[in-house]
Amino acid sequence: MTVFQTEQNDFLGRIITGDETWVYSWDPETKRQSAEWRDFDEPRPEKVRRKQGALKVMHMIFFDMNGVILRWPVPIGTTINAQYYKKVLQDKLRPAIRKKRLGLLESGILFHYDNAPVHTARAVTDVLAGYKWELLEHPRYSPDLAPCDFHLSLK
């Protein structure tokens, strides 16, 4: 019998997924900029599409079945290496779990991320082992298991 069959929703509630993704800034038209005088019989003007801004920021996102636990913007110019990832796990993610998901740290976390070298580095796996977080294997080349590559926010 598998762990999922015995635990069911408790099993799913213990999974935390993490990934990195680029977040672009947008320069939307303000209400005042889009205001325009027109006669009653004139057609409404077409709305110009938003243009992508020049700024993009890497975000580290961690979430579970109840939503986002931590969305951490990586400072511009910072490289995400094993030491940086380890520091985010220790200083940002663990306190965020303690604050937002009461009792989850004690129930045993199942941690899921892709096989990027940063995630599988010895420094990172040692920290996770110290926390007694179980790692869920990530099949190689599995785009269907990369939810951060899609939209996580409402707008």
The model scores a pTM over 0.75: no
Q: What is the pLDDT of residues 62-115, one digit of tens each?
A: 998 888 999 999 998 899 999 999 999 999 999 999 999 988 888 889 998 888
Q: What is the pLDDT of residues 113-132, one digit of tens each?
A: 888 889 889 999 999 999 99
Which residues have a Cβ under 8 Å from the Cβ of 138 and sit 6 or more positions away? 112, 113, 114, 115, 145
Q: Virtual CA dihedral for 117, 122, 125, 126, nearest 10 degrees?
A: -160
Q: What is the DSSP string of 118-146?
A: HHHSHHHHHHHHHTTPEEPP--TT-GGG-
